[in-house]
Amino acid sequence: MNNWKEKLPPIGTLGPFIALLILCIAFSTQSDRFASSENLSLVLQQVMVVGVIAIGQTLIILTAGIDLSCGMVMALGSIVMTKFAVDLGMPAPLAILCGIGVTALFGLVNGLLVTKVKLPPFIVTLGTLNIAFAITQLYSNAQTVTDLPPAMTWLGNTFRVGGTSVANGVVLMLLLYLATWFALRETASGRHVYAVGNNPEATRLTGIATNRVLLGVYVLAGVFYGIASLLSVARTGVGDPNAGQTENLDAITAVVLGGTSLFGGRGAIVGSLIGAVIVGVLRNGLTLMGVQSVYQVLITGILVIVAVAVDQLSRRGGR
């Protein structure tokens, strides 16, 4: 039976890329400033935090999990590193490592609850989302941390390539994507992440320690959130206890828009980068057009559902 759904190709990476192109063309007809090089470099700087969170989120979604705590853990990391540096007078590199350590610890907790206690990732991370938020507020007294050492904001500095300014953090983000792309495609550990997402039982039976793969993925995602903490601090110049609120859903949106299946085992990391840029372009373009931010939230919400629906329908056809 040739159902129309069977003819839907899996989203792949070409789909999101075309969507991004269409979006860019549409916005440049609506606003003269959109396609300017300053604006596009601004978009990338806005994207770098979500982009790096999305790497961790992609790894988790590839294993058929989900991490709702990503943005809040990122916020906690940025409060820890800035307060350690400013209040405790810790040298910046050490404070940064402590911040990343805390986010990795949250990843470890998520991972242990998923692998050892066998709780669903959705519920586990919904819990840690609130825990991370509460600790952030308590530890920071809901106060922004200022007067940061310059080393903490270095990634926010820009250098010029031709006529365009590029932030150091954007380069770091691209390097992290490159490294993850290589690891997922070309190493056994990377292929095992896909295998676990595809068929955990079959993967276990081939002798792969699936729980170790899962735990590794959650901890690694925590490390990526920690790096995102630093990028967020660098971009805003402060430790902000209210950071991470839009990033939380934006990161999931980016991954899904990028064609990674929420059912696990399918997707490419490049897609998440394109997805993150789509989210960034959308927010930026709508702002330039003078659309209220509430509508931006509305549109992102609709977008996730459409992307998930396409994923769901094309999978059903493929089986």
Partner 1 sequence: MSAQHNLVMQAKGLVKRYGQVTALDGTDFELRAGEILAVIGDNGAGKSSLIKALSGATIPDEGEILLDGKVIHFKSPIDARRAGIETVYQELAVAAAMSISENLFLGRELRRAGFLGSVLRMLDKKKMLEESIARMRDLKVGIRSMTQPVETLSGGQRQCVAVGRAAAFAQHVVIMDEPTAALGVKEGNMVLELIRRVRDKGLPVVLISHNMPHVFEVADRIHVARLGKRAAVLNPKKISMSDTVAVMTGAMPPDEIPAECLAH
Residues at the site binding partner 1, with contacts judged by CB under 8 A: 182, 186-189, 191-192, 194-195, 198-199, 201-203, 205-208, 265-266, 318-319
Name which of 147 and 201 has its Cβ closer to partner 1: 201
Q: Which of 102, 97, 114 is nearest to 75 (CA)?
A: 102
Relative orientation angle of helices 269-288 and 293-318, to the nearest 10 degrees:
150
- Residue 136's contacts (CB-CB under 8 Å, 6 or more residues apart) are 72, 75, 76, 79, 241
Rounded to the nearest whole angstrom, what is the least distance from the CB of residue 201 to partner 1 in the complex? 7
Cα distance between residue 217 and residue 230, in whole Å: 20
Rounded to the nearest whole angstrom, what is the least distance from the CB of residue 189 to partner 1 in the complex? 7
Name which of 166 and 183 has its Cβ closer to partner 1: 183
Rounded to the nearest whole angstrom, what is the least distance from the CB of residue 244 to partner 1 in the complex? 32
Name which of 175 and 298 has its Cβ closer to partner 1: 175
Relative orientation angle of helices 210-236 and 92-115, to the nearest 10 degrees:
140
Q: Rounded to 5 degrees, what angle do the CA atoms 169, 172, 178 make?
A: 145
Rounded to the nearest whole angstrom, what is the least distance from the CB of residue 205 to partner 1 in the complex? 6
Name which of 114 and 195 has its Cβ closer to partner 1: 195
Rounded to the nearest whole angstrom, what is the least distance from the CB of residue 195 to partner 1 in the complex? 5
Name which of 83 and 266 has its Cβ closer to partner 1: 266
Name which of 165 and 199 has its Cβ closer to partner 1: 199
The DSSP annotation for 223-272 comes to HHHHHHHHHHHHHHSSB-TTTTHHHHHHHHHHHHHTT--TTSS---HHHH
**In the numeric block, which tokens belong to residue 185?**
């495609």
Rounded to the nearest whole angstrom, what is the least distance from the CB of residue 183 to partner 1 in the complex? 8
Phi, psi of 161 (to 5 degrees): -120, 110
**DSSP code at position 315:** H
